[in-house]
Amino acid sequence: MSNKVIVTAAVHPFLLATLEQKGFEICYEPTMSYDQLSLQISDAIGLIVTTRLKIDSKIIEAAKALKWIGRLGSGMELIDTELAESKGILCVSSPEGNCTAVGEHSLGLLLNLMHRIHQAYGEIKMGQWIRDENRGDELTGKKVGIIGFGHTGSAFAKVLTGFGVTILAHDIHPGALGFQQFPQAKMVQLETIQQEAEVISLHLPLTTLTKHFANTRFFEQLKQQPYFISTCRGGVTSNQALLEALQHQLIRGAGLDVLENERLDSYHQAEKTNLEALMALPNFILTPHIAGYSHEAYYKMSKILLEKLGVI
């Protein structure tokens, strides 16, 4: 009987070493394509993925021996979990492993914007020493709206505790994990965040319900001209709506770690024009989906995933 596990992404050495120690045959191909996976999956009992490959019905139907799918990180939108689980395939993720990193990165984006750090540094590199126009805003005492209060939303709330902020948290699930882990948060409706929050941070999974959650109507409902942060999934925010919100000063600034389309070499002209317009704005910053990518998270995601799969 096969004991083969396919690993389709770069992983911490701990994961590979542990699988080997437990007697698994590892097929480690971090650059494996969808087509290659579809050809190799038939005799695999385990599959470890990130967000690079879509694990759809074709892959799952071809996986005749598959017992489990491990997703490093959070978000299962690229895996047909319903079909997999109907076939007795265990599907687990490890959001606990990188939520602290995401919370810290969200704070970094926010402080960068509020204190004009990247804007001022860019001016200095051009030989300009400008002070008055770079006068910052303090985070201390502000109302922070967190939309999506699971692992990463509550992790962001925790790193904010030293700033004396009021946390306004919204989640469609009243029993969301964050309300247990951070009981100091005020559970509110979305409208309350739109009316009162001076900072808004998105921590939502990408689903049919959350696709373009931050759209034109969402931004038009904001009353406090808040700072806007998103470290969740690019598709949750409409890039065009975000650009217009910045241009019309509906928000004070925006910090993203994600884009709707993160394959920059595949952009058509409209996408290029939109991104160039965003990056030309001094109150916009963008990082390449690295919020949950810390060295510590790299290890913790592997360890937690193996624990959930029962390997250790």
φ and ψ at 279, to 5 degrees?
-70, -15
Distance CA 12, CA 298 (A): 6
Distance CA 269, CA 259 (A): 16
Q: At what angle do helices 239-247 and 269-279 cross, to 10 degrees?
A: 40
Residue 58, H or E segment: helix 57-62
Terminal-to-terminal C-alpha distance of the chain: 21
How does DSSP classify residue 266? G
Nearest to 217 by CA among 253, 175, 250, 185: 250
- How distant, in Å, are the alpha carbons of 10, 28, 101, 192, 290 from that of 31? 8, 9, 25, 45, 18
Q: Which of 12, 71, 233, 252 is catalytic?
A: 233
Distance CA 20, CA 311 (A): 11
The SS3 of residue 70 is strand
Distance CA 71, CA 152 (A): 16
Q: Which of 262, 276, 296, 307 is catalytic?
A: 262
Q: Is residue 262 flagged as an active site residue?
A: yes
Tokens of 170: 């919204």
- Cα 45 to chain centroid distance, Å, stands at 28
- Other beta carbons within 10 angstroms of residue 303's beta carbon come to 17
- Judge contact between 151 and 166, C-beta under 8 A: no
* Catalytic residue ranges: 233, 262, 289
